[in-house]
């Protein structure tokens, strides 16, 4: 009897032990503990949740963080570009961090780069306010394992893995001169109203404008001034007014900046100079429609800034995933934009969106509500 009771007791102890073990195991597999939940929901785990509205789609894994830094706030072109970037990042399941300083300076962008390094983002895409001044900060970012690319306005080749360009800079520059020449009948004084004097894209386009002007067929056209409105509306207005005052015989203005061309359009309208001073450049259809429809600007050019940002988002994703390194000949499928190819760009490489598009009275109505 004693032996029988001993066996029963042993069995009971074993069953209790197994039940206790199962209870413990069930707690660990059934979900996170309160302390674990608190960690996953802490602010540090989602440093910029406000810029990413979609829930995590990575099965509980941390989202990759993709940052974009534009030149400055209050710029509709930049806002559309960041909109496209955010859309692409959400499509690939990442988290978009959208940043822009109040003033278009390299110093302000450097501070933002340092902040993003501290946040340990996975990628930084930047539209540079200076091609060289950002190099130390961007090199620091790359040394920290962050994938760096530039878009719209490039940094030098040592400061990035690849650049995303809107269109062929040569075609942009030459097309703008060809356009203004046609508008003014091939003779007269012209001026350029640019953004900042350090803006890489602006300066490259201006170089190509000057090269196009070397053609003998433009011998009767004189470039009298390159003015800088710093991509600020008020300053661009002031610079346009100064050009008109300093050069009373001015026949045409080229503004390769969306802020500048809109400001110049307003000044020419307010001063009743339609048909007397011609205007062309790069502008947003939504901002330039009234000036094209009125005839103050016969036509202008641009690409879709949403697409520039969208393409950059996919390039950033490719760099982070390792499917893209920025070498010549590499290809990437960029969502709805399809396949794009990496090409040589001086000492570095770039991916181009496409050719500039001409907006005039025949098509501005259909485009002004798009962007």
Q: For residues 279 and 196, state if they share a domain.
A: yes
List the CATH number of the domain containing 243: 3.40.50.2300
Q: Is residue 225 within 8 Å of residue 247, measured between CB atoms?
A: yes
Write down the pLDDT at residue 354: 86
Q: For residues 224 and 277, state if they share a domain.
A: yes
* Beta strand residue intervals within 197-257, DSSP E: 221-228, 250-255
Is position 329 within any domain? yes
Q: What percent of the chain has pLDDT over 90?
A: 80
Q: For residues 149 and 116, state if they share a domain.
A: yes
Q: For residues 123 and 224, state if they share a domain.
A: no
Handedness of CA 109, 110, 112, 116 (dihedral sign): positive
Q: For residues 82 and 129, state if they share a domain.
A: yes
Parallel, antiparallel or unpaired: strands 348-352 and 339-345: antiparallel
Q: For residues 77 and 146, state if they share a domain.
A: yes
Angle between helix axes 258-270 and 285-294 (nearest 10 degrees) is 30
Query: 70: domain range?
Result: 62-166+305-353
Give CA–CA dist 281/173, Å, rounded. Answer: 10
Domain termination site, one of 286, 302, 318: 302
Handedness of CA 62, 101, 113, 43 (dihedral sign): negative
Is position 360 within any domain? no
Give how many domains the chain has, as a whole number.
Answer: 2
Is position 119 within any domain? yes
Domain termination site, one of 243, 271, 302: 302
Q: For residues 333 and 297, state if they share a domain.
A: no
Handedness of CA 35, 38, 40, 45 (dihedral sign): negative
In the chain, which residues have pLDDT < 70?
A: 1-60
Give CA–CA dist 114/75, Å, rounded. Answer: 23
Q: For residues 210 and 296, state if they share a domain.
A: yes
Is position 15 within any domain? no
Give CA–CA dist 206/282, Å, rounded. Answer: 13
pLDDT tens-digit series, residues 210-255: 999 999 999 999 999 999 999 999 999 999 999 999 999 999 999 9
Write down the pLDDT at residue 355: 82
Q: For residues 296 and 314, state if they share a domain.
A: no
């Amino acid at each position: 009897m004693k032996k029988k009771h001993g066996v029963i007791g042993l069995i009971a102890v074993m069953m209790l032990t197994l039940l206790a073990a199962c209870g413990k195991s069930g707690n660990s597999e059934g979900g996170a503990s309160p302390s674990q939940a608190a960690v996953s929901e802490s602010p540090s785990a989602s440093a910029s949740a406000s810029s990413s509205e979609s829930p995590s789609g990575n099965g509980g894994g941390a989202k990759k963080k993709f940052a974009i830094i534009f030149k400055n706030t209050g710029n509709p072109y930049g806002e559309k570009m960041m909109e496209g970037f955010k859309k692409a990042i959400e499509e690939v399941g990442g988290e978009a961090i959208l940043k822009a300083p109040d003033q278009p300076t390299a110093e302000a962008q450097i501070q933002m780069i340092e902040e993003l390094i501290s946040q340990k983002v996975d990628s930084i895409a930047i539209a540079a306010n200076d091609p060289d001044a950002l190099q130390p900060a961007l090199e620091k970012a790359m040394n920290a394992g962050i994938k760096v690319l530039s878009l719209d306005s490039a940094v030098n080749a040592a400061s990035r893995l690849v650049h995303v360009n809107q269109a062929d800079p040569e075609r942009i520059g030459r097309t703008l001169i060809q356009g203004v020449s046609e508008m003014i009948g091939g003779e007269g004084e012209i001026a350029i109203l640019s953004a900042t004097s350090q803006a890489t894209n602006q300066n490259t386009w201006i170089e190509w404008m000057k090269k196009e002007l070397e053609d003998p067929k433009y011998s009767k056209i004189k470039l009298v001034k390159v003015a800088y409105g710093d991509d600020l509306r008020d300053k661009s207005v002031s610079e346009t007014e100064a050009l008109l005052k300093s050069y009373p015989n001015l026949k045409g203005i080229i503004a390769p900046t969306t802020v500048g061309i809109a400001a110049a359009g307003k000044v020419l309208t307010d001063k009743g100079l339609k048909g007397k001073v011609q205007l062309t450049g790069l502008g947003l259809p939504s901002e330039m429609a009234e000036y094209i429809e009125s005839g103050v600007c016969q036509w202008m050019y641009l690409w879709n800034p949403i697409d520039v940002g969208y393409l950059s988002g996919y390039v950033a994703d490719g760099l982070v995933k390792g499917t893209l390194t920025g070498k010549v000949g590499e290809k990437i499928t960029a969502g709805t934009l399809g396949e794009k190819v990496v090409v040589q760009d001086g000492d570095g490489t770039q991916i181009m969106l496409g050719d500039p598009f001409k907006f005039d009275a025949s098509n501005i109505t259909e485009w002004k509500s798009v962007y």
